[in-house]
Structure 1
Amino acid sequence: MSTLQHKSTRIDFLNVVTLGKLNTHSNPMAEIATAQIGITTAGLRAFSTLMHWEMGVIAKALGTTERTLLRNKEKPLNKQISENALEVARLSSFGAAYFGNIDNWNTWLDTPNVQFDNQPPRTMMNSIRGRELIRRVINGLLYGFTA
């Protein structure tokens, strides 16, 4: 895929998950403040719908339970879950841009990969190191590094 193709399909999932409070060009201090205040499940539901992910999949990626997300419908989520949501949204923007669309990104996330011990990349999404590895593997694909 060409770089132009990647740029033309870029969706700002950070904007979606924060209900317009942040975008990929936001000041890092604004992102920190948003995480401290906490994002809402409304933003996660919008992200879930756009990504075609069940709330259980979102919860697992954020390192929490679906019950926690449902229980906190009106209250902002805690700082850790909020930070994880911002990171997953940022990673999804990067992944969907590289793979051309959300469906291709989801397919790649669910396909066992030797880089992830023959596990689907999605299984690594719930940790900081896992998200870093996913980004590193996609960067390798972007710049032509294989296995």
Structure 2
Amino acid sequence: MALYVTKSSGSLFNNLFGSNAKQVAAMTDFDMLQLTRSGLPKHLLLSLAKRISLTIQEFADIMHISERTLQRYDDNAIIKTEYAEKAVELARLYTRGEEVFGSLDKFKTWMKTPLHVFKGETPVSLLDSSVGFDMVFKELGRIEHGIFA
């Protein structure tokens, strides 16, 4: 029997969720699964949005929650599992983008640039669905390997 333990990227929460997430910086993937199942506090979600330069409206659209509903939550209120899961996916995407582009700022600029490969849409506008996330991840893979459309 083999034991496999994978560590989440140390920078996943430290760099994107900021100093509010020190307690989860060294979590395993299974720990992260448990965390998303239990939900994340609103202040952690908003910290992520700020770190990746999304407006509250853009963030709410990605999360499939109204901006007003998001604002009604207390800062320490635990937000539902599906929103926590989307936030973790955002963190993974932006961590991957930072790796590919060599800089989070360069990746954030790319995310807000209309691209031919996405029929003139910005990559960030695709993040309201899992298919859109997949398209952006695939494009990052092509960029990493020098395959441009």
Instruction: State the TM-score, normalizing by the size of structure 1.
Output: 0.81
User: What is the CA-CA distance between 1:130 and the residue it aligns to?
Assistant: 0.8
Deviations 1:92-143 (A, max 9, x none): 1111222222321121111111221221111111211111110110110001
Moved over 6 A (4+): none
1:29 aligned residue: 30
1:109 aligned onto 2:111: yes
Structure 2 alignment gaps of length 5 or more: 1-8
Residue equivalent to 1:14: 13
- Offset from partner CA, 1:29-80 (integer Å, 9 cap, x none): 2112111110011112222332232222221222222222212223211111
The one-letter code sitting in structure 2 at the alignment partner of 1:59 is: A
Shift in CA distance, 143/58, structure 1 to aligned 2, threshold 3 Å: same
Larger radius of gyration: 2
Tell me, in whole angstroms, the C-alpha distance in 2 between the residues paired with 1:37 and 1:81: 11
* Cα distance between partner residues in 1 of 2:48 and 2:35: 16
Structure 1 residue ranges without an equivalent (≥5): 1-9
Q: Distance in 1 between matches of 2:70 and 2:103?
A: 27
Q: Is 1:143 matched up with 2:145?
A: yes
What is the correspondence of 1:87-98 to structure 2 with a 5 Å cutoff?
87-98=89-100
- The code of the aligned residue for 2:125 comes to T
Aligned residues: 137
Larger RCO of the pair (alpha carbons < 8 Å, separation 6+): 1
Q: Is 1:54 aligned to 2:55, yes or no?
A: yes
Identity %: 21
* SS across alignment from 1:135: helix
Q: Is the 8 A contact 1:61 1:88 kept in 2?
A: no
Q: Which amino acid aligns with 1:96?
A: E
Residue aligned with 1:146, SS:
coil
Aligned pairs for 1:119-138 within 5 A: 119-138=121-140
> 1:3-40: per-residue Cα shift (whole Å, max 9, x none)?
xxxxxxx98243443723434x6322211211111001
* Equivalent position SS for 1:12: helix
Question: How far apart, CA to CA, are the structure 2 residues paired with 1:77 and 1:63?
Answer: 12
Residues 123 and 100 from structure 1, CA distance in 2 versus in 1: closer, same or farther, beyond 3 angstroms?
Answer: same
TM-score where L is the length of structure 2 = 0.80
**CA contact under 8 A between 1:95 and 1:138: conserved in structure 2?**
yes
The match for 1:66 is 67
